[in-house]
A and B are shown apart, each in its own frame.
Chain A
Amino acid sequence: MANHTSTQAAFENQPTWAGGRSPFNVSYGKLMMWIFLLSDAFTFSTLLVQYGTQRFSNVVTPITTKWPDPASIFNHFPFMHGLHLPLLFVSVMTFILILSSVTMVLAVEAGHRKSKAEVARYMVYTIIGGIAFLSCQAWEWYTFIHEGARLDGNTFGITKQGYDHLNSVGFGDHFEWADGDRTFGPVPFAALFFIVTGFHGFHVFSGVVINVVVYIMTVRGVFERRGHYEMIEKAGLYWHFVDLVWVFVFTFFYLI
Protein backbone atom coordinates (compact mmCIF):
# COMPACT_ATOMS: atom_id res chain seq x y z
CA MET A 1 0.00 0.00 0.00
CA ALA A 2 2.91 2.31 0.76
CA ASN A 3 4.13 1.63 -2.74
CA HIS A 4 0.73 2.56 -4.11
CA THR A 5 0.74 5.86 -2.28
CA SER A 6 4.22 6.79 -3.41
CA THR A 7 3.33 6.01 -7.03
CA GLN A 8 0.24 8.11 -6.64
CA ALA A 9 2.33 10.95 -5.25
CA ALA A 10 4.82 10.64 -8.11
CA PHE A 11 2.00 11.00 -10.58
CA GLU A 12 0.55 13.95 -8.81
CA ASN A 13 3.83 15.78 -9.17
CA GLN A 14 3.96 15.18 -12.92
CA PRO A 15 2.89 17.99 -15.20
CA THR A 16 0.00 17.07 -17.50
CA TRP A 17 2.12 16.55 -20.61
CA ALA A 18 4.82 14.45 -18.98
CA GLY A 19 2.97 11.20 -19.58
CA GLY A 20 1.62 8.61 -17.20
CA ARG A 21 -1.73 10.29 -17.17
CA SER A 22 -4.61 10.00 -19.57
CA PRO A 23 -5.45 13.27 -21.30
CA PHE A 24 -9.15 12.44 -21.25
CA ASN A 25 -9.29 10.93 -17.79
CA VAL A 26 -10.36 7.56 -19.13
CA SER A 27 -8.37 4.37 -18.96
CA TYR A 28 -6.16 3.20 -21.78
CA GLY A 29 -8.57 0.41 -22.74
CA LYS A 30 -11.62 2.62 -22.89
CA LEU A 31 -9.84 5.28 -24.91
CA MET A 32 -8.60 2.67 -27.37
CA MET A 33 -12.11 1.25 -27.67
CA TRP A 34 -13.40 4.72 -28.55
CA ILE A 35 -10.65 5.22 -31.15
CA PHE A 36 -11.46 1.80 -32.63
CA LEU A 37 -15.15 2.65 -32.76
CA LEU A 38 -14.35 5.93 -34.49
CA SER A 39 -12.38 4.09 -37.16
CA ASP A 40 -15.18 1.52 -37.45
CA ALA A 41 -17.67 4.35 -37.85
CA PHE A 42 -15.58 5.62 -40.79
CA THR A 43 -15.68 2.14 -42.33
CA PHE A 44 -19.45 1.99 -42.12
CA SER A 45 -19.68 5.56 -43.35
CA THR A 46 -17.85 4.68 -46.56
CA LEU A 47 -20.40 1.92 -47.15
CA LEU A 48 -23.27 4.31 -46.50
CA VAL A 49 -21.73 6.93 -48.81
CA GLN A 50 -21.53 4.29 -51.52
CA TYR A 51 -25.09 3.20 -50.82
CA GLY A 52 -26.46 6.75 -50.83
CA THR A 53 -24.86 7.56 -54.17
CA GLN A 54 -26.07 4.36 -55.81
CA ARG A 55 -29.51 4.62 -54.29
CA PHE A 56 -30.24 8.08 -55.59
CA SER A 57 -28.54 7.71 -58.93
CA ASN A 58 -30.65 4.66 -59.78
CA VAL A 59 -34.11 6.06 -59.29
CA VAL A 60 -35.20 5.35 -62.85
CA THR A 61 -33.86 2.74 -65.24
CA PRO A 62 -34.92 2.15 -68.82
CA ILE A 63 -36.87 -1.03 -68.05
CA THR A 64 -38.10 -0.58 -64.51
CA THR A 65 -39.75 2.22 -62.63
CA LYS A 66 -37.12 2.75 -59.94
CA TRP A 67 -34.93 1.41 -57.18
CA PRO A 68 -37.16 -1.14 -55.48
CA ASP A 69 -39.27 0.10 -52.63
CA PRO A 70 -37.86 -1.91 -49.68
CA ALA A 71 -41.33 -2.52 -48.26
CA SER A 72 -42.20 -4.44 -51.40
CA ILE A 73 -39.34 -6.87 -50.84
CA PHE A 74 -38.87 -7.16 -47.10
CA ASN A 75 -42.50 -7.97 -46.46
CA HIS A 76 -42.14 -11.46 -45.00
CA PHE A 77 -42.62 -12.63 -41.46
CA PRO A 78 -41.69 -16.05 -40.06
CA PHE A 79 -44.62 -18.49 -39.82
CA MET A 80 -46.83 -16.12 -41.81
CA HIS A 81 -46.03 -17.34 -45.24
CA GLY A 82 -47.34 -15.40 -48.20
CA LEU A 83 -48.69 -12.48 -46.22
CA HIS A 84 -47.80 -8.90 -47.11
CA LEU A 85 -46.29 -7.52 -43.88
CA PRO A 86 -43.81 -4.85 -44.92
CA LEU A 87 -41.32 -3.51 -42.39
CA LEU A 88 -42.80 -5.54 -39.53
CA PHE A 89 -39.99 -8.07 -39.24
CA VAL A 90 -37.19 -5.48 -39.36
CA SER A 91 -39.00 -3.46 -36.72
CA VAL A 92 -39.05 -6.55 -34.50
CA MET A 93 -35.32 -6.98 -35.16
CA THR A 94 -34.76 -3.34 -34.21
CA PHE A 95 -36.75 -3.90 -31.04
CA ILE A 96 -34.64 -6.96 -30.15
CA LEU A 97 -31.42 -4.99 -30.62
CA ILE A 98 -32.65 -2.01 -28.59
CA LEU A 99 -33.72 -4.38 -25.82
CA SER A 100 -30.35 -6.12 -25.78
CA SER A 101 -28.70 -2.69 -25.62
CA VAL A 102 -30.70 -1.92 -22.49
CA THR A 103 -29.74 -5.20 -20.81
CA MET A 104 -26.11 -4.46 -21.73
CA VAL A 105 -26.22 -1.03 -20.15
CA LEU A 106 -27.93 -2.53 -17.09
CA ALA A 107 -25.00 -4.96 -16.84
CA VAL A 108 -22.63 -1.98 -16.94
CA GLU A 109 -24.67 -0.29 -14.20
CA ALA A 110 -24.59 -3.47 -12.10
CA GLY A 111 -20.84 -3.55 -12.64
CA HIS A 112 -20.56 -0.07 -11.15
CA ARG A 113 -22.22 -1.48 -8.04
CA LYS A 114 -19.86 -4.51 -8.24
CA SER A 115 -22.81 -6.88 -8.16
CA LYS A 116 -21.43 -9.99 -9.81
CA ALA A 117 -24.69 -11.95 -9.95
CA GLU A 118 -26.57 -9.11 -11.63
CA VAL A 119 -23.80 -8.50 -14.18
CA ALA A 120 -23.85 -12.19 -15.10
CA ARG A 121 -27.63 -12.23 -15.39
CA TYR A 122 -27.81 -9.16 -17.64
CA MET A 123 -24.95 -10.47 -19.78
CA VAL A 124 -26.96 -13.64 -20.39
CA TYR A 125 -29.95 -11.54 -21.50
CA THR A 126 -27.70 -9.53 -23.82
CA ILE A 127 -26.19 -12.66 -25.36
CA ILE A 128 -29.68 -14.10 -25.92
CA GLY A 129 -30.71 -10.83 -27.60
CA GLY A 130 -27.67 -10.93 -29.85
CA ILE A 131 -28.29 -14.53 -30.89
CA ALA A 132 -31.97 -13.76 -31.51
CA PHE A 133 -30.99 -10.85 -33.75
CA LEU A 134 -28.51 -12.99 -35.69
CA SER A 135 -31.15 -15.69 -36.18
CA CYS A 136 -33.57 -13.08 -37.50
CA GLN A 137 -30.94 -11.83 -39.92
CA ALA A 138 -30.17 -15.35 -41.10
CA TRP A 139 -33.86 -15.86 -41.79
CA GLU A 140 -34.03 -12.50 -43.60
CA TRP A 141 -31.07 -13.41 -45.82
CA TYR A 142 -32.49 -16.85 -46.50
CA THR A 143 -35.82 -15.40 -47.61
CA PHE A 144 -34.15 -12.70 -49.70
CA ILE A 145 -31.91 -15.22 -51.49
CA HIS A 146 -34.83 -17.58 -51.92
CA GLU A 147 -36.71 -14.75 -53.65
CA GLY A 148 -33.90 -14.45 -56.16
CA ALA A 149 -31.44 -11.93 -54.72
CA ARG A 150 -27.81 -12.42 -55.75
CA LEU A 151 -24.61 -10.48 -55.22
CA ASP A 152 -24.12 -9.92 -58.94
CA GLY A 153 -27.65 -9.23 -60.04
CA ASN A 154 -30.98 -7.82 -59.04
CA THR A 155 -34.26 -9.42 -59.96
CA PHE A 156 -36.16 -6.79 -58.01
CA GLY A 157 -36.69 -4.30 -60.77
CA ILE A 158 -40.35 -3.82 -60.04
CA THR A 159 -42.43 -2.83 -63.03
CA LYS A 160 -45.40 -0.49 -63.14
CA GLN A 161 -47.64 -3.54 -63.11
CA GLY A 162 -45.77 -4.86 -60.07
CA TYR A 163 -46.31 -1.66 -58.12
CA ASP A 164 -49.99 -1.56 -59.07
CA HIS A 165 -50.24 -5.14 -57.85
CA LEU A 166 -48.48 -4.29 -54.58
CA ASN A 167 -50.58 -1.20 -53.97
CA SER A 168 -53.76 -3.22 -54.38
CA VAL A 169 -52.71 -5.45 -51.47
CA GLY A 170 -53.39 -4.30 -47.94
CA PHE A 171 -51.21 -4.81 -44.87
CA GLY A 172 -51.46 -8.45 -43.84
CA ASP A 173 -53.21 -9.64 -47.01
CA HIS A 174 -52.03 -12.55 -49.08
CA PHE A 175 -49.45 -11.60 -51.71
CA GLU A 176 -47.62 -13.50 -54.41
CA TRP A 177 -45.57 -12.06 -57.29
CA ALA A 178 -47.28 -12.46 -60.66
CA ASP A 179 -45.69 -12.76 -64.10
CA GLY A 180 -44.48 -9.41 -65.35
CA ASP A 181 -44.31 -7.88 -61.89
CA ARG A 182 -40.56 -8.09 -61.74
CA THR A 183 -37.66 -7.68 -64.11
CA PHE A 184 -33.97 -6.88 -63.73
CA GLY A 185 -33.28 -3.75 -61.72
CA PRO A 186 -30.25 -1.72 -60.66
CA VAL A 187 -27.50 -4.24 -59.93
CA PRO A 188 -26.03 -2.62 -56.77
CA PHE A 189 -29.28 -3.07 -54.86
CA ALA A 190 -28.86 -6.64 -53.61
CA ALA A 191 -25.05 -6.40 -53.51
CA LEU A 192 -25.13 -3.37 -51.22
CA PHE A 193 -27.78 -4.99 -49.06
CA PHE A 194 -25.63 -8.10 -48.59
CA ILE A 195 -22.43 -6.15 -48.02
CA VAL A 196 -23.80 -3.67 -45.50
CA THR A 197 -26.09 -5.99 -43.53
CA GLY A 198 -23.43 -8.68 -43.76
CA PHE A 199 -20.82 -6.32 -42.37
CA HIS A 200 -23.18 -5.33 -39.60
CA GLY A 201 -24.17 -8.93 -38.91
CA PHE A 202 -20.51 -9.87 -38.60
CA HIS A 203 -20.11 -7.09 -36.05
CA VAL A 204 -23.08 -8.46 -34.10
CA PHE A 205 -21.49 -11.90 -34.24
CA SER A 206 -18.17 -10.56 -32.91
CA GLY A 207 -20.12 -8.69 -30.24
CA VAL A 208 -21.81 -11.91 -29.12
CA VAL A 209 -18.42 -13.65 -28.95
CA ILE A 210 -16.98 -10.78 -26.89
CA ASN A 211 -20.02 -10.85 -24.61
CA VAL A 212 -19.69 -14.60 -24.08
CA VAL A 213 -16.01 -14.20 -23.18
CA VAL A 214 -16.80 -11.37 -20.79
CA TYR A 215 -19.66 -13.39 -19.28
CA ILE A 216 -17.37 -16.34 -18.59
CA MET A 217 -14.79 -14.00 -17.01
CA THR A 218 -17.54 -12.51 -14.82
CA VAL A 219 -18.79 -15.88 -13.65
CA ARG A 220 -15.26 -17.04 -12.89
CA GLY A 221 -14.74 -13.98 -10.72
CA VAL A 222 -11.95 -12.39 -12.75
CA PHE A 223 -13.38 -8.90 -12.39
CA GLU A 224 -14.25 -9.43 -8.75
CA ARG A 225 -10.58 -10.15 -8.03
CA ARG A 226 -9.52 -7.24 -10.24
CA GLY A 227 -11.69 -4.92 -8.17
CA HIS A 228 -13.61 -3.34 -11.02
CA TYR A 229 -15.90 -4.28 -13.91
CA GLU A 230 -14.52 -1.93 -16.54
CA MET A 231 -14.28 -4.74 -19.07
CA ILE A 232 -18.08 -4.84 -19.10
CA GLU A 233 -18.06 -1.15 -20.01
CA LYS A 234 -15.68 -1.74 -22.90
CA ALA A 235 -17.71 -4.66 -24.25
CA GLY A 236 -20.78 -2.47 -23.75
CA LEU A 237 -19.28 0.33 -25.84
CA TYR A 238 -18.79 -2.10 -28.70
CA TRP A 239 -22.27 -3.56 -28.32
CA HIS A 240 -23.93 -0.14 -28.35
CA PHE A 241 -21.94 0.82 -31.39
CA VAL A 242 -23.40 -2.19 -33.18
CA ASP A 243 -26.86 -0.99 -32.15
CA LEU A 244 -25.97 2.50 -33.40
CA VAL A 245 -24.95 1.18 -36.81
CA TRP A 246 -28.21 -0.72 -37.01
CA VAL A 247 -30.13 2.53 -36.46
CA PHE A 248 -28.59 3.84 -39.68
CA VAL A 249 -28.89 0.56 -41.59
CA PHE A 250 -32.57 0.49 -40.63
CA THR A 251 -33.02 4.11 -41.73
CA PHE A 252 -31.18 3.89 -45.03
CA PHE A 253 -32.06 0.39 -46.19
CA TYR A 254 -35.58 -0.12 -44.98
CA LEU A 255 -37.16 3.27 -44.44
CA ILE A 256 -35.78 5.40 -47.26
Chain B
Amino acid sequence: MEFYNKPGDYDAINYIPHTESHGTKELWKTFWLLLGITVLDFVIYFVMPASGWRNFIFIFFGLVKAYYIVGAFMHLKHEKINLALVILVPMVFVLGLISGLLYEGSALEVMKSM
Protein backbone atom coordinates (compact mmCIF):
# COMPACT_ATOMS: atom_id res chain seq x y z
CA MET B 1 0.00 0.00 0.00
CA GLU B 2 1.25 3.46 -0.91
CA PHE B 3 0.51 6.72 0.83
CA TYR B 4 0.65 9.17 -2.06
CA ASN B 5 -0.74 9.34 -5.55
CA LYS B 6 1.61 9.59 -8.39
CA PRO B 7 0.67 12.34 -10.86
CA GLY B 8 -1.59 10.99 -13.57
CA ASP B 9 -2.75 8.01 -11.53
CA TYR B 10 -6.37 8.73 -12.28
CA ASP B 11 -7.75 10.44 -15.32
CA ALA B 12 -11.46 10.97 -14.95
CA ILE B 13 -12.15 11.28 -18.67
CA ASN B 14 -10.11 8.60 -20.36
CA TYR B 15 -10.22 6.32 -17.36
CA ILE B 16 -9.27 2.74 -17.94
CA PRO B 17 -8.46 0.98 -14.69
CA HIS B 18 -5.09 -0.59 -14.31
CA THR B 19 -5.93 -4.19 -13.64
CA GLU B 20 -3.81 -7.20 -13.10
CA SER B 21 -4.81 -10.63 -11.97
CA HIS B 22 -3.25 -11.80 -8.72
CA GLY B 23 -4.24 -15.36 -9.55
CA THR B 24 -6.83 -17.46 -7.78
CA LYS B 25 -4.58 -19.00 -5.16
CA GLU B 26 -5.28 -16.41 -2.45
CA LEU B 27 -9.02 -16.55 -3.18
CA TRP B 28 -9.27 -20.30 -2.76
CA LYS B 29 -7.13 -20.12 0.36
CA THR B 30 -9.59 -17.58 1.78
CA PHE B 31 -12.49 -19.81 0.83
CA TRP B 32 -11.08 -22.81 2.71
CA LEU B 33 -10.30 -20.60 5.68
CA LEU B 34 -13.86 -19.22 5.82
CA LEU B 35 -15.28 -22.70 5.45
CA GLY B 36 -12.96 -24.07 8.15
CA ILE B 37 -13.93 -21.34 10.63
CA THR B 38 -17.63 -21.93 9.93
CA VAL B 39 -17.20 -25.66 10.59
CA LEU B 40 -15.30 -24.78 13.76
CA ASP B 41 -18.22 -22.52 14.80
CA PHE B 42 -20.56 -25.45 14.29
CA VAL B 43 -18.38 -27.82 16.33
CA ILE B 44 -17.81 -25.36 19.20
CA TYR B 45 -21.55 -24.74 19.40
CA PHE B 46 -22.13 -28.35 20.35
CA VAL B 47 -18.93 -29.12 22.24
CA MET B 48 -18.80 -26.08 24.51
CA PRO B 49 -21.62 -25.16 26.89
CA ALA B 50 -23.07 -21.67 26.42
CA SER B 51 -21.07 -19.01 28.25
CA GLY B 52 -19.64 -15.54 27.87
CA TRP B 53 -16.40 -17.08 26.71
CA ARG B 54 -18.12 -19.03 23.99
CA ASN B 55 -19.84 -15.84 22.79
CA PHE B 56 -16.45 -14.12 22.80
CA ILE B 57 -15.01 -16.91 20.63
CA PHE B 58 -17.92 -16.65 18.17
CA ILE B 59 -17.57 -12.87 17.88
CA PHE B 60 -13.79 -13.21 17.50
CA PHE B 61 -14.27 -15.78 14.71
CA GLY B 62 -16.80 -13.44 13.10
CA LEU B 63 -14.19 -10.67 13.08
CA VAL B 64 -11.57 -13.01 11.59
CA LYS B 65 -14.00 -13.96 8.82
CA ALA B 66 -14.79 -10.27 8.26
CA TYR B 67 -11.06 -9.52 7.96
CA TYR B 68 -10.62 -12.11 5.23
CA ILE B 69 -13.77 -11.16 3.32
CA VAL B 70 -12.95 -7.45 3.36
CA GLY B 71 -9.21 -7.90 2.87
CA ALA B 72 -9.06 -10.58 0.20
CA PHE B 73 -12.49 -10.71 -1.48
CA MET B 74 -13.19 -6.99 -1.36
CA HIS B 75 -9.56 -6.29 -2.14
CA LEU B 76 -9.18 -3.65 0.57
CA LYS B 77 -5.74 -4.99 1.52
CA HIS B 78 -4.50 -3.90 -1.90
CA GLU B 79 -6.12 -0.45 -1.95
CA LYS B 80 -4.47 2.73 -0.73
CA ILE B 81 -4.19 2.82 3.04
CA ASN B 82 -6.12 6.13 3.15
CA LEU B 83 -9.19 4.44 1.67
CA ALA B 84 -8.86 1.47 4.02
CA LEU B 85 -8.67 3.79 7.04
CA VAL B 86 -11.65 5.89 5.96
CA ILE B 87 -13.71 2.69 5.93
CA LEU B 88 -12.26 0.84 8.89
CA VAL B 89 -11.80 3.56 11.52
CA PRO B 90 -15.52 4.40 11.91
CA MET B 91 -16.33 0.68 12.03
CA VAL B 92 -13.97 0.24 14.99
CA PHE B 93 -16.08 2.75 16.95
CA VAL B 94 -19.31 1.07 15.83
CA LEU B 95 -17.99 -2.30 16.97
CA GLY B 96 -17.11 -0.70 20.29
CA LEU B 97 -20.70 0.52 20.55
CA ILE B 98 -22.12 -2.92 19.74
CA SER B 99 -19.96 -4.75 22.27
CA GLY B 100 -20.58 -2.00 24.83
CA LEU B 101 -24.34 -2.34 24.50
CA LEU B 102 -24.19 -6.14 24.65
CA TYR B 103 -22.62 -5.61 28.06
CA GLU B 104 -25.01 -2.84 29.07
CA GLY B 105 -27.91 -5.08 28.06
CA SER B 106 -27.05 -7.38 30.95
CA ALA B 107 -26.99 -4.36 33.27
CA LEU B 108 -30.48 -3.37 32.05
CA GLU B 109 -31.59 -6.90 32.81
CA VAL B 110 -30.40 -6.59 36.40
CA MET B 111 -32.13 -3.22 36.78
CA LYS B 112 -35.41 -4.57 35.40
CA SER B 113 -35.49 -7.37 37.95
CA MET B 114 -34.84 -4.98 40.85
A113: CB under 8 A from chain B? yes
Q: Which residues of A contact B8 (CB under 8 A)?
A: 8, 11-12
Once A23-B82, A45-B98 are accepted as A-B contacts, the answer to whether A247 and B58 lie under 8 Å apart by CB is no
- Measured in the bound complex, the distance between the Cα atoms of B35 and A120 in whole Å is 25
- Taking the closest CB of chain A, its distance from the CB of B86, in whole angstroms, is 8
Chain B contact residues (Cβ within 8 angstroms of A): what range? 35 or more
Interface pair B9/A25, CB less than 8 Å apart: yes
Interface pair B21/A251, CB less than 8 Å apart: no
Interface pair A34/B83, CB less than 8 Å apart: yes
Interface pair B19/A243, CB less than 8 Å apart: no
Interface pair A98/B38, CB less than 8 Å apart: yes
Q: Which residues of B contact A20 (CB under 8 A)?
A: 11-12
Whose C-beta in chain B lies nearest to the C-beta of A41? Answer: B91
- Measured in the bound complex, the distance between the Cα atoms of B62 and A255 in whole Å is 11
Q: Which residues of B contact A178 (CB under 8 A)?
A: none
Interface pair A24/B105, CB less than 8 Å apart: no
- Measured in the bound complex, the distance between the Cα atoms of B17 and A255 in whole Å is 41
Interface pair B109/A59, CB less than 8 Å apart: yes
- Among candidates A52, A101, A113, A251, residue contacting B69 with C-beta atoms closer than 8 Å: A101
- Among candidates A48, A71, A247, residue contacting B65 with C-beta atoms closer than 8 Å: A247
- Measured in the bound complex, the distance between the Cα atoms of B97 and A54 in whole Å is 14
Interface pair A8/B11, CB less than 8 Å apart: yes
Q: Which residues of A contact B19 (CB under 8 A)?
A: 111-112, 228-230
Instruction: Give a binary string over B50-84; 1 marks a CB under 8 Å from any A CB, 0 the rest.
Output: 10000100110110011001101111000110110
Interface pair A251/B101, CB less than 8 Å apart: no
A215: CB under 8 A from chain B? no
Question: Of residues 84 to 111 in B, which have CB atoms within 8 Å of A's CB atoms?
Answer: 86-87, 90-91, 94, 97-98, 101-106, 108-109
- Measured in the bound complex, the distance between the Cα atoms of B24 and A56 in whole Å is 42
Interface pair B58/A237, CB less than 8 Å apart: no
Whose C-beta in chain A lies nearest to the C-beta of B44? Answer: A255
Interface pair A243/B69, CB less than 8 Å apart: yes
- Taking the closest CB of chain A, its distance from the CB of B80, in whole angstroms, is 5
* Majority-rule SS of A interface residues: helix
A161: CB under 8 A from chain B? no
A183: CB under 8 A from chain B? no
Q: Which residues of A contact B42 (CB under 8 A)?
A: 87, 91
Interface pair A60/B113, CB less than 8 Å apart: yes
Whose C-beta in chain A lies nearest to the C-beta of B93? Answer: A45
- Measured in the bound complex, the distance between the Cα atoms of B87 and A240 in whole Å is 15
Once A45-B97, A49-B97, A102-B31 are accepted as A-B contacts, the answer to whether A25 and B21 lie under 8 Å apart by CB is no
Interface pair B24/A109, CB less than 8 Å apart: yes
Residues on B lying within 8 angstroms of A by beta carbon are 5, 7-17, 19-24, 27-28, 30-31, 34-35, 38-39, 41-42, 45-46, 50, 55, 58-59, 61-62, 65-66, 69-70, 72-75, 79-80, 82-83, 86-87, 90-91, 94, 97-98, 101-106, 108-109, 112-113
Residues on A lying within 8 angstroms of B by beta carbon are 4, 7-8, 11-14, 16, 20-28, 31, 34, 37-38, 41-42, 45, 48-49, 52-60, 69, 71, 87, 91, 94-95, 98-99, 101-102, 104-106, 109, 111-113, 171, 227-230, 233, 236-237, 240-241, 243-244, 247-248, 250-251, 255-256
Top-3 shortest CB links A-B = A56-B105, A57-B108, A24-B83
